[in-house]
Amino acid sequence: MISSFALLVFHPNYFLLVFAGIFLSVLLNYSSSWIVRNTGMKYWLALLLVILFSVGILYLMIILIGPSIASQVREMSDTLPKSLNNLKEEITGTKVGKELFDELPTEMDELMNNREEIFSRIVGSFSSTIGAIANFFIIIITGIFLASTPHIYTQGFVRLFSVDFRPRLREVMNKVQSTLSLWMMAKLISMLVVGILTAIGLEILGMPLPYALALIAALFSFIPNIGPYLALAPAVLIALMEGGNMFIYVLILYFGIQIVESYLITPLIEKKMVHLPPALTLFWMVLLGILTGILGLILATPILAALVVIINELYVKDNLEAGYELQVEQENKSETKKPEEQEEEK
């Protein structure tokens, strides 16, 4: 217990990787179990079909739209610096902006004066990329291993608790699995809708790089509350290069899609999901983002969804509400007793 707490405090990313692997295994197990229930197919074959289907969809996306998106992303890497320079020129055109930029030394000047910092940043970026790739494969392999024989791990975990508590624990674990699976399915549908609407809207507006920007919007929509605004930044910068009122049209488009996604799409596809208050979700995301970085920010919402189910089932229902219901039941029994029975008890 002490070692686990020490790992949680000093190496929280380890637990995030473990949760990500469990999260992936839950999705694979939920999809495979659905196939088994509806077709009678063996579980291992259903799991293999789910994995092959997922890989096939990813491969088709790479083949069909990958080249155009890759070229647009490369073009965006050239366009965004120009957009930032144009924005800087417009700001420095004002008296206040010129004074502000004169007082702030540019990052390029600082880097040229410190070559060791250049080297350390390059090495740091390289190591971060390698670490991200390694973490990705760890999550994939862990998820597949857990999903291949889920009963071994669930039974081993349940056996750590008392015999009387095990049925209830299995019930709560099944509810957590269902909640996470439904949440992810709903989120994938929402991401797909956001990406399609963004691509269509940018094409109609005549914006450059519509598919790359739509891909960014779809990916960032996985992060609630914060993600849509992060996706808006590159779109606005590129729209500023187009001149005119393009950036206003882009703002209207993105905020319109955000309203449709938040108040129409999400409520329709998340009816059976656990309700997460927006303020609580935002605070939790900021906390995990500060403590663990980008991985915590990405996994904050599914972690919160699992915690809400666990707390609601094991603490609220089994302790607070169960104790209150027992007290009310005893009071009702005492009130329905005859006066003679109450005198005998006294």
pLDDT digits (tens, 9 = 90+) for 22-36: 888 988 988 898 899
Return the number of other C-beta atoms located less than 10 Å from residue 26's C-beta: 24
Q: Report the distance separating Cα 208 and Cα 212, nearest Å.
A: 9
Write 155-160 long-range contacts (CB < 8 A, 24+): none
pLDDT digits (tens, 9 = 90+) for 227-239: 888 888 888 878 8
Q: Report the distance separating Cα 261 and Cα 269, nearest Å.
A: 10
Q: 135 near 17, Cβ under 8 Å? A: yes
Q: 296 near 219, Cβ under 8 Å? A: no
Q: Cα–Cα distances in Å, from 103 out to 22, 132, 293?
A: 50, 36, 30
And the tokens for 141? 């392999």
The pLDDT value recorded for residue 234 is 82
Per domain, the residue ranges of the chain are 2-329
Mean pLDDT of 199-228: 85
Q: Which of 84-93, 118-127, 330-339 has the lowest mean pLDDT?
A: 118-127
Q: Which of 19-28, 112-121, 125-134, 332-341 has the lowest mean pLDDT?
A: 112-121
Query: Mean pLDDT in the chain?
Result: 76
Q: Report the distance separating Cα 176 and Cα 178, nearest Å.
A: 5
Name the one residue in this structure whose structure tokens are 């707390």. Answer: 311
Q: Is the pLDDT of residue 122 over 50?
A: no
pLDDT band of residue 224 (cuts 50, 70, 90) is confident
The pLDDT value recorded for residue 64 is 62
Q: 231 near 255, Cβ under 8 Å? A: no
Identify which of 116-125, 253-262, 325-334 has the greatest average pLDDT. Answer: 253-262
| Phi and psi angles of residue 245, each rounded to the nearest 5 degrees, phi first | -100, 20
Write 239-247 long-range contacts (CB < 8 A, 24+): 239/207, 240/83, 240/86, 240/87, 241/79, 241/82, 241/83, 241/86, 242/207, 242/208, 246/205, 246/207
- Looking at residue 87, its amino acid is L
